[in-house]
Structures are given as structure tokens and as C-alpha cells.
Amino acid sequence: MKPILLFLALTACTQAQTPDPHESPLAADFRVERRHLSEACGTFGLKSTAGCAVELFTDHPFHIAAGSIAPQNGFGVGAAMVAHYTPNETWRLSWNFDAVASTNASWRAGAYMKMIHTPVQKQVTTFVHPYTVFNLYAQSISLNQLNFFGVGPDSTLAGKSLFGMTQSIIGFSAIKPVYEFKSIRKLNLSLIGQANGRFVSLRPRHGQSSPSIENLYTEASAPGLANQPAFLQLEEGIRLKPSLFNNNLQFNYLANFQEFYAPSTSRYNFQRWTIDLDHRIPLHTKTQSYAPRDTNGPDECAAGSEKDAACPPVSYSWNLQGSINFRFLLSESMNSAAVPFYFQQTLGGSDINGAPALSSYQDYRFRGPNLLLLRESFEHSLWGPFGFQFRADQGKVALTRGDIGFDRLKHSFATGLTLRAGGFPQVSLLYAWGGETSHTIGALNTSLLGGSARPPLD
């Protein structure tokens, strides 16, 4: 990483080129980035060092990519490139390319394209409809260490085993806002569709303190262990993001239905539906939402939907921030016995996508085709970009849909510090307790603040 920082710092100190009337949009972006780096990194000091780091990790078209790859696989460092093109007034295109690797030889590389429909929008009173967004993406990830304790709520620590996995995803998705009908406009409703090809390969993990997965489990106890066919995964869904009481109560509701088809064998075909209800109560008028923006790629942090929108300045992090959040997540599978274990969702530590749940337990501690999670959380700024977070989780997994309920829930608590500076990936350092163990968790988001999420791996 040091050679990359040295190279970028030297580049930053060079004089930005004079604009060429014939230069391409990409060349213009590089010229502007050189100017930004020269201004931010040309002097030394505490303030200038922080500003330089933000430019190095968030500016475009080129910046350093960093973030957690997946729990148990360390932090990845690499490079990212962002490009934009506006062919006309009704379309805007963007491309994100990135690749990162960690110290245990795990890696992720991806290419993500957005096609944003930007027709001239008619404003109705104070409402302007959002954009329709189409996504094309290809991503591969190789994870050298994942925990597997068995399937179901009664798995034990003694059943811990390890495995490695490579998964490639090629797909297309769309988000279509529904704004034509005045009666539902305030619901901020969008239709969601997705089609993915998923290609998974598992491998043993030897030479560790825990045994490799094939030494403890078979196809009967870990569906999908013996065979990993290619899958076609489809998704249809609806999302609602209304706000009430002058934006003092914000909702983010998602309901979707997924179908997983293995063309080579029907043995592993299954369907899954999910309801995810998130409620947010901002505590201050300038409380910022750090939720992913549909118009951003994972390597972008633009704060607005305009084509030239910039990342939030670091100075914005000094505004007083705070919110109270409540979340309800329910996911159930049809043909549950056929769900390959590597597509089953997990509770414990963080899941394979980096989302924390029951953090006091080990990563991937509970795995099953059906899942229930409740969360209550509180966040507030302490000083500048530093903040305080507390959350309480209750959840369970189940082998059958009939076993999902509010009895025998596992409990976990976590509290600690967060760091949000401009568009820099969120950093968190939390202490979790309440389950089988307690431990300290450090995490760095996989995307820039405001960047869209990457294709989920489960």
C-alpha cells in the first residue's frame, strides 16, 4: 500500500495540465483529480493530511479501494476506477471497476455499470420523481476462510468447521420508481427486478485450528457440499421509502421474492421471500442519511443525483447527527430442505456480505433457510466525524417455516465508536456481548458512504 500512496502523493504535487478543448471527458476527470490532489496533498499538517486521505480514497476517476472483504477474511486493499458518460439529456452512464486483496489471499474484483434515465422532470408541488436505474455487473470473490457450524438453530461450537469458496455473479437489475399516480406518490414506491447467474465453487480449508468442512459434514448434513451447480436467480420486489411528520419519521420497507434455479438439476431449486422493515427517527434537522444511493456505484459517494454531484465534504461531518432505528427482518424459503448451505442466510458476528447481526456470537454462527431478526439501535455524533453507536439484536434461524416465531430468540448487544468522514468508507470499532462470548469487532465498509451495495452472496 505504501508504494501506491507514494505514487499518488508524487502525482498530486505535479502541476495540473491546462485544459485542452479536445480532451475527452475521462482525460478531463484525470486533470481535475490531479488538481484536487495537488490542493489537498501539497502541504503537510493534521488538517491537510485528513483532506489528502479523503481525496486518495474517494476521488474519481482513480482512488485507493479499501474495505472488509468478508468476515474471517480480513481487510482488502487495492484500486478502483470510476468513469461517467452523458450521451444525451435523458441518459447518464457510469462505470465502476475495483479489485482488492487481503493478507490471507482472499480477493474480490468487479465491474459495475449504471444506466440512469434522466428525462426532464416535471415538478408537482414540492415533489420531483426519482430516476429509473438499470444495473449491469460482473463480480468474482474468493474467500479462503468461512465458518460452518452446521445448519439450524441447535448447532454447537463443537461443530465448527472451515471451508473456502469462490463465487462469480453476472447479472442485471432495475429500480423503477412509480410516480404517475398522485394517490401513491408520497409512498416513494419503486418496483425492483433482478436476474443473476451465480457460479459457486467450494474447497476445503486445512491446516487450521478447526477441521475442514468435509471432515465433519456430508451432503446430508450440509446440502450442496458434494455438488455446486450453476444457478439462475431471479428477483421481483417492491420498495417503499415514505417520510412522515416533516421528515421526522422515515421508513425503508422492502418486500421481495427470489427464485433459485439450477438448470443441471432440480434437486437444489428453491424460492425465498423476504420482508425487511426499517424505521428511522432523526434526532436533528441536519441528520444525514448514510443509506446507499441508487444512482451511485459502490465506488462513488456523490451526495446528489446530478451528474456533477460531489462527495459530502468532511466539514459536513461536524454537523450534529443522531437517530433512533428499529428494524424487522423476516426471510423464509420454500422447499427449505433443498437450499444449499452456502446460500442460506446467517446470524452471528457479521454475515458474508458484512452486515452485522447478533454480533456477540462468532461469524456465521447460526445458519438456516429461514431467518428472523429484530434490531433496536441508537447513534449520535460525539466530536466531528466520530460517533457513538449502541444496538440490541434478537434473532433466530429455523429449518422449517413453521418454526419461525418469537420464542427462543438469541440476544446480543454491541456498542462502540464509528467514524464517518466525507465519502470515506465507514469505520466502526464495537464491543459486543450477550451470547456465547464477547469480543471487539473492527470493520471497514465494503463501499464508500452513499455508494450502492454490491451483489449479495447469499
State how far the Cα of 223 lies from the Cα of 219, in Å rounded to an integer: 5
pLDDT at 250: 93
Residue type, 233: Q
Residue of 234, 238, 163 lying closest to 201 (CA atoms): 163
Helices in 79-182 by DSSP H: which ranges? none
What are the grid coordinates assigned to 199, written together? 457460479
Taken as a whole, the chain contains a residue count of 458
pLDDT at 37: 72
State how far the Cα of 92 lies from the Cα of 24, in Å rounded to an integer: 16
Q: What does pTM read for this prediction?
A: 0.88
Q: Could you give the angle at the alpha carbon of 241 between the alpha carbons of 235 and 245, nearest 5°? A: 165
Which runs of E-coded beta strand occur in 179-248? 189-204, 231-240, 243-244
What are the grid coordinates assigned to 454, written together? 454490491
Residue of 383, 352, 381, 384 lying closest to 365 (CA atoms): 352
State how far the Cα of 275 lies from the Cα of 256, in Å rounded to an integer: 7
pLDDT at 119: 80
pLDDT at 19: 58
Residue of 310, 354, 296, 321 lying closest to 72 (CA atoms): 354
Helices in 209-340 by DSSP H: which ranges? none
Indicate the burial class of 231 (C-beta count within 10 angstroms; 0-12, 13-18, 19 or more): buried
Pairing between strand 322-334 and 370-383?
Answer: antiparallel
Burial 27-36, CB ≥16 within 10 A → b, else e = eebbbebbeb
Helices in 292-439 by DSSP H: which ranges? none
Say which residue the cell 428511522 belongs to: 280
State how far the Cα of 80 lies from the Cα of 412, in Å rounded to an integer: 35
Q: Are 59 and 33 in contact (CB under 8 A)?
A: yes
Averages of pLDDT over runs of 10 residues in the chain (458 residues) are 46 49 71 73 66 81 91 93 89 95 95 90 53 96 97 95 98 91 83 98 95 96 95 97 90 97 93 97 79 90 70 75 95 92 96 94 96 97 91 96 93 94 86 90 88 92
Residues 6 or more apart in contact with residue 400 via CB below 8 angstroms: 336, 370
CA 162 to chain centre: 24
How much of the chain is helix, strand and coil, in % rounded to 5?
Answer: 15, 45, 40
pLDDT at 8: 47
pLDDT at 217: 97
pLDDT at 287: 67
Q: Is 88 helix (H, G, I), strand (E, B) or coil?
A: strand
Q: Are 411 and 394 in contact (CB under 8 A)?
A: yes
Burial 299-315, CB ≥16 within 10 A → b, else e = bbbbbebeeebbbbebe
